[in-house]
Amino acid sequence: MWKTALAIFITVLLTIILAGAGYAYYLYDSASEHVQEMNQKYTKEIGEHHSPSSLTGPVSFLLVGIGDRPGEQGLADTIIGATVNPEDESVLLFNIPRDTKVDIPGHGEDKINHSYSYGGTKLLKETAENQLNYSFDFVVEADMEGFTKIVDVLGGVEVNNPFAFSQDNIDHSRTFHFEKGVQSLNGEEALQYVRMRKNDPRGDLGRNERQREVLASLLKEGRSMEHLLQSQEILSILQEHVKTNVTMKDLRTLFASYRSALDYIRTFELEGENIMEQQVSYYRVPSKEWEKASLLLENHHNK
């Protein structure tokens, strides 16, 4: 459910950008309070605040989707790296599969999503940056509930499912059935659609592909003028379910100079293999694959 972070945040950017002059001012004033609240949460709970003094070129994001399971501490179910290049007018996205085996500072080798339970997004960011030899400018963290709410506010998402499958919700109280072909999904259905991996022949990689599909649908919905009237509701959802170190000053620059990059979104996968070690499953990414990912990020950042 990596789309939580990126799709919700970009939706707010687009709704405000598209607003008329008077309404845009009203939304900007409202957004200032909500963004300030998100920054306060980030500073208090994550303890780190980093923001470039001026945004004049490519910027990068670490996008984190947190999954809360009954009786368990939250884990980073979704980890996405993104670079936005306004000169090249493109976005580069890639998933780091949650079961990827990495060296977590102070904790040894483990699944990368466990870094969140050890030290929150701050440790997760450090772990990802060490693996990639690359630094992210911004962090956006969001949870499952925020994802379902934003999808419902936007009236659902449309997907083209390549094969039929069923997926239970987290507490197994309900089973969702997804037929092959084009269909519209509400918030809860979209969440289960992007969660499924056990019945996918490609496992995490197949799930990542569905996640990107939902993102594209959300971006399309977020551009629609009819959603302006729901913008205040979207802002309220952001305040409750999203944490970020993006400031309002940064947001203004993103509005003005970066939105054209959303028209072209490129993606790549970290290729690896599923392994079992001491009866624990991991996703192992070769060092050459990490190096390739680092090079792709650097090249896109420096175009």
Give residue for tokens 């368990």.
72
pLDDT above 70 (res 265) = yes
Predicted local confidence at residue 1, as pLDDT = 40
Predicted local confidence at residue 243, as pLDDT = 78
Q: Percent of the chain at pLDDT above 70?
A: 69
Confidence category of residue 296, pLDDT binned at 50, 70, 90: very high
For the residues 114-127, what does the mean pLDDT come to?
A: 91
More confident residue, 299 or 141: 299
Predicted local confidence at residue 97, as pLDDT = 87
Least-confidence region, from 7-16, 127-136, 238-247 = 7-16
Please give the C-alpha separations between residue 72 and each of 90, 151, 221, in angstroms, as whole numbers. 38, 25, 33
Q: What is the CA radius of gyration of the chain?
A: 18
Please give the C-alpha separations between residue 279 and each of 101, 181, 188, 268, 282, in angstroms, as whole numbers. 14, 37, 32, 29, 10
Q: Are 66 and 249 in contact (CB under 8 A)?
A: no
pLDDT above 60 (res 186) = yes
Predicted local confidence at residue 23, as pLDDT = 44
Q: Does domain 3-157+202-298 have CATH number 3.40.630.190?
A: yes
More confident residue, 82 or 112: 112
pLDDT above 70 (res 237) = yes
Predicted local confidence at residue 72, as pLDDT = 53
